[in-house]
Amino acid sequence: MSTNIEKEPGPQGDSPIEPQPEKRKREYKDFGHDETKQTHANVDMSTIELKAEDLYDKEKVDLETISLDDVFKLLQCDDAGLTDAEASRRLELFGPNKLESEEQNAFLQFLSFMWNPLSWVMEAAALVAIALSNGEHRPPDWQDFVGIVFLLLVNSSIGFYEERNAGNAVKALMDSLAPKAKVKRDGKWSEVESSILVPGDMISFKIGDIVPADCRLTEAINVSIDQAALTGESLPQSKKVTDQCFSGSTCKQGEAEGVVISTGSNTFFGRAASLVGQDDDTTGHLQKILAQIGSFCLVCIGIFVIAEIVVLYPAFKYTYRRGLDNILVLLIGGIPIAMPTVLSVTLAVGAQQLAKHKAIVTRITAIEELAGVTILCSDKTGTLTTNKLTIDRGTIRTYGPFSADDVVLLAAYASRTENQDAIDTSVVAAIGDPTRARAGIKLLDFKPFNPVDKRTEITYLEESTGKLKRVTKGMTGIIIELCTRNKTDELENRLEADVEEYATRGLRALAVAYEELDGDDPESEGNGFELIGLLAIFDPPREDTKQTIDDALALGVKVKMVTGDQLAIAKETGRRLGLGDHMYPAKVLKDGPAPGGKHANLDEMIMDADGFAGVFPEHKYEIVKRLQALGHLCAMTGDGANDAPALSRANVGIAVEGATDAARGAADIVLTEPGLSTIVHAIRGSRIIFQRMRNYSIYACAVTIRIVVSFAILAFAYRLNFPPFMILIIALLNDGTIMTLSVDRVLPSNTPDSWDLTEIFAFAIAYGIYLTASTVSLVAIIIQTTFFQDKFGVNFGDESSNPVDPNSPHLHMVIYLQVAIISQALIFVTRSHGFFFMERPSTALLCAFAVAQLISSIIAGFGNWGFTNISAISGGWIGIVWVWNIIWFFPLDLIKFAMKATVIKSLRERRLAAIAAAAPHHDIPVTRTQSRAASIHESLYSNRVSFIKRAARKVGFGQKISMKPEELQRFSSIQAHRTGATLARNPSRTATGA
């Protein structure tokens, strides 16, 4: 591989160095570098004995600037690479080449499920029960305290278990996608996992690859490295031989080889990573929703707690303990304590279910956002198409003395036979036997493709004739400019017509030119390139792509193709796939729509477009940004490093199968199967998960209202003092049943989902008030009449059949059973869109409900517990309660339908009218309104992960490396020196680089 090649200027002629005319075609030159003077270590390199005090003394040794010879001596290696045995030994010395992910402390992760306002209220209730419930010759309320703590522990345990399981599943899948690196061991190149690289390894990388470790370049052709994530430099940096490349940076251009000088946490990236992201206090969208739902519940509880304090003590002259028991009922019963756990479990289970469809969720809350995606921006190549280019032999055009088969063979000569890109692969495959690409010729010089010159070139000796010949293939415009022999206007016109014909058919044109050289100098000028042929390259759509796009459109998701390919090719592909052919070139993003056209502004054009062609990374980013500004949730698919900015910007970034490490790192979801079909599975799956969360949210808010309103009214009307411990039993049984919602059978919506909290609260208020009426009316009948005693011959044990005392232990048990049964039964109404019996629930939910009701009925029949104010009731009363609840249950569906026809319909019409007024030309309704706004209470729900990190640091877990800024500027060199020191202390058994 040549390292002293002068680079031909690009077609724009923006080269800062004026090339010599006579070498215009032949040599490439790496430009943009200031020559760095090579230094030498001021130590005796022959001994390779670096003392500790030398490691930080840049006057003695600096691996960034010392000569490569000294680097090889210091690291005891050579350009043939390490032996496998030596690499294994060094792996033990230096550890794996990967960043040790900060393991979450399991105990703190468990406690984090108690770190939210809903749990804080329950924890406050526990303190009230144990600390404030003293006096009046009664012991502290131990039973309620233990019950509350048990309830908190149960919820945290379930959430912890499910989240750890989901995390382990994702980790296992991500481990299977470990980054690869090309390394030379025992003199042979092979591909290995990047994690086993060690200092002294010889590595190579090319365009699109992630640099796997800090290295010094030993060979480089037209290398440009994007290290913005590490250094903040906005533009890629040109690199030449002896330059240092940092681990984690992206190769944007060219190809290179280098010697590894530091790995893992000792790299520039590794140490920098330890300094950033320590206090990530960002609040996820789901946390914002939780904040608003939680605040709604807290406000409801607060209103009635204050009302009880105002009424019970001054007006009813309640004693301290009696009033406190009533307040505890509202606190314990009103708080949907299981909400954070249920939603976490639902997402965790959902992530595991999506993993079965080969979709790895790297940001779990992305599941919820995927359910609301309205626009999917998809890359074309490799996503909509197979990314397996083929030569369409039937459409090959020839212009010179060669046949179509000859043109294909010469194009194969001008292709790499190893480390191939997609075009080289297709060209070599077109000749049938890949060995023919080098048969009968002797390779003298080869210049691989790069984004500036946009062509490849081979100079070879034809063994049968002994002549030197040169072939180049590449972009049509570049090749025809190179041609000087037999080029006429007629030829150029014919070529242009052929390329246009290809483009209209979705074919990519690849021009081939040929020249002969006189003499035996492979660097000499030839007799001039002559255009000999045009190859048609075709990237066919995947078999399932059209059906997948149709499915996405049916789900209300508009698909826009965003490709770097030519506009005509993009239009043809769009027509084939049913996407439409309203495609625009990327320049419209800068210039805007043409004056007098059908689009008033750029936003309207972007909304109308079926896709964009000729885009660069900044265009993809701009498209996503503008769509988001219009109110849409946008998903972006991509596979290359150039897609990473847009993937990161999108609401849901999706790295498709075979994506580069950079794309995976920026994405929220990583697909491990090719094509878009997995994305449609993921959209359906996320909508199912969303429906489960929405159903539970309505249920939780309704139960909060029914508990606080019911027991406040009973306290005000009858001075009824319900025992707090029985509310704990209701909450515990509810939680056990509700957890099964995470696997419930629900139907995904046919349109993008959104959190409309106004609708949720409206449903909750209607259900809550209705259930309150069911409880209050039952108690009123029992207290004020003898209806049940007279009609059914039941009574409360030894008590008379006269109207009973409001604080009868038997009445408390009746209230407990009635509230427990119908509260849980409400879930069957909230989970269905029509009549509850028309949508079959999961077996797990049915079984959990049946078990909970059996337990509730057994407690009602046998629960004579002395520590709380309840007594068992007869089977007659249990039957009455069951029949009462069944009678009250069926109208719940009618309430749902009535709400949809009145209040909910009115809310939706008002919202859609506001949207239409704001964006009258949008063909996709934007349904995200206030639910996307940040809640004023969201700070209470700061991300649990950040809580874990902060707590871990405070108690001494997971310590981070601290570093002074001045040390940061030079630590990459320092770590390389440590490498040398470690090798010096552990010399190789067989010296390799003395």
Model confidence pLDDT, tens digit, residues 112-125: 777 777 777 778 77
pLDDT band at 281; cut points 50, 70, 90: very low
pLDDT, residue 923, reads: 46
Spatial distance between the Cα atoms of 751 and 269, rounded to a whole number of angstroms = 42
Least confident of 9-13, 65-69, 125-129, 421-425: 9-13
Between CA 527 and CA 519 the distance in angstroms is: 11
Q: Which residues pair with 638 in a beta bridge?
A: 655
- Which residue bears the tokens 């365009």? 207
Enter the pTM of the model: 0.68
- Name the token pair of 10: 């690009």
735: which 2 tokens?
């939680």
* pLDDT tens readout for residues 725-777: 899 899 888 888 888 888 898 888 888 988 888 999 999 999 999 999 999 99
236: which residues sit within 8 A by CB, 6+ positions away? 224, 225, 226, 227, 252, 253
Q: Which residues pair with 245 in a beta bridge?
A: 215
Tokens of 553: 């459109």
| Type of residue found at 25 | K
d(CA 504, CA 536): 12
pLDDT(933) > 60:
no
SS3 221: strand
List the Cα angle 371/372/374 in 5-degree steps: 120
Nearest to 381, CA basis, from 216, 155, 540: 540
Report the distance separating Cα 128 and Cα 126, nearest Å: 5
Q: What is the CA radius of gyration of the chain?
A: 36
The tokens describing 803, both together, are 């109207």
| Nearest CA among 992, 994, 921 for reference residue 80 | 992
Mean pLDDT, the chain, integer: 78
Q: What is the mean pLDDT of residues 831-853?
A: 92
Phi, psi of 967, rounded to the nearest 5 degrees = -75, -35
Q: In 632-721, which residue ranges form alpha helices assigned H by DSSP?
A: 644-649, 661-666, 677-718
Query: What is the distance between the terminal CA atoms of the chain, rounded to a whole angstrom?
Result: 25
Closest CA to 715 of 314, 327, 320: 327
676-714 tens-digit pLDDT = 888 888 899 899 988 988 998 999 999 999 999 999 999
Neighbouring residues of 750: CB distance < 8 A, sequence distance ≥ 6: 554, 555, 556
Q: On the CB side of 707, how many CA atoms lie within 13 Å of its CA? A: 35
pLDDT band at 174 (very low <50, low <70, confident <90, very high): low
Q: What percent of the chain has pLDDT over 90?
A: 25
Percent of the chain at pLDDT above 70? Answer: 77
Please say whether the beta carbons of 694 and 286 come within 8 A.
no
| Nearest CA among 398, 394, 472, 391 for reference residue 430 | 391
Q: Are 447 and 523 in contact (CB under 8 A)?
A: no
Grade residue 646 by pLDDT with cuts at 50, 70 and 90.
confident
pLDDT at 942: 46
Q: What is the pLDDT of residues 134-145, one digit of tens each?
A: 666 677 778 878
Q: How confident is the model at residue 983 (pLDDT cuts 50, 70, 90)?
A: low
Place of tokens 């390389």: 976
Exposed/middle/buried for residue 5 (C-beta within 10 Å: 0-12, 13-18, 19+): middle
Q: Round to whole Å and give the CA distance between 992 and 994.
A: 6
pLDDT tens-place string over residues 316-339: 888 888 888 898 899 888 888 777
pLDDT in the model for residue 661: 62
Query: Is 16 a residue whose pLDDT tops 50?
Result: no
Q: E strands of 170-284, at which residues?
A: 180-185, 188-193, 202-206, 214-226, 237-239, 244-245, 250-262
Residue 113 Cα distances to 106, 280, 339, 944, angstroms:
12, 18, 10, 8
Chain-centroid distance of CA 875 in Å reads 55
**Distance from chain centroid for Cα 777:** 51
pLDDT tens digit sequence for 485-534: 988 889 988 998 998 888 777 687 899 999 999 888 888 888 899 999 99
Residue 801 pLDDT more than 70? no
Q: How far apart are CA 390 and CA 713, in angstroms?
A: 76
SS3 call for 461: strand
Does residue 560 contact residue 378 with C-beta atoms inside 8 Å?
A: yes
| Over residues 933-937, mean pLDDT | 39
Residue 438 identity (one-letter amino acid): R
* Residue range 563-586: mean pLDDT, rounded: 84
144 a catalytic residue: no
Over 50: is that where the pLDDT of 963 sits?
A: no
pLDDT given for residue 717 in this prediction: 93
Residue 144 burial by Cβ neighbours in a 10 Å radius (0-12, 13-18, 19+): buried
- Which tokens belong to 370? 């995927």
| SS3 assignment, position 638 | strand
Contacts of 994 (CB under 8 A, 6+ apart): 46, 48, 73, 76
Residue 308 tokens read as 């009880």
Q: Which of 126-130, 663-667, 856-860, 954-958 has the highest mean pLDDT?
A: 856-860
Catalytic residue among 141, 201, 209, 379: 379
For residue 866, what are the β-bridge partners? none
Task: Please say if the pLDDT value at position 3 is more than 70.
Answer: no
Instruction: Give CA separation, 923 vs 604, 752, 781, in Å.
Output: 10, 14, 56
What's the confidence (pLDDT) of residue 981? 55
Rounded mean pLDDT, 335-357: 79
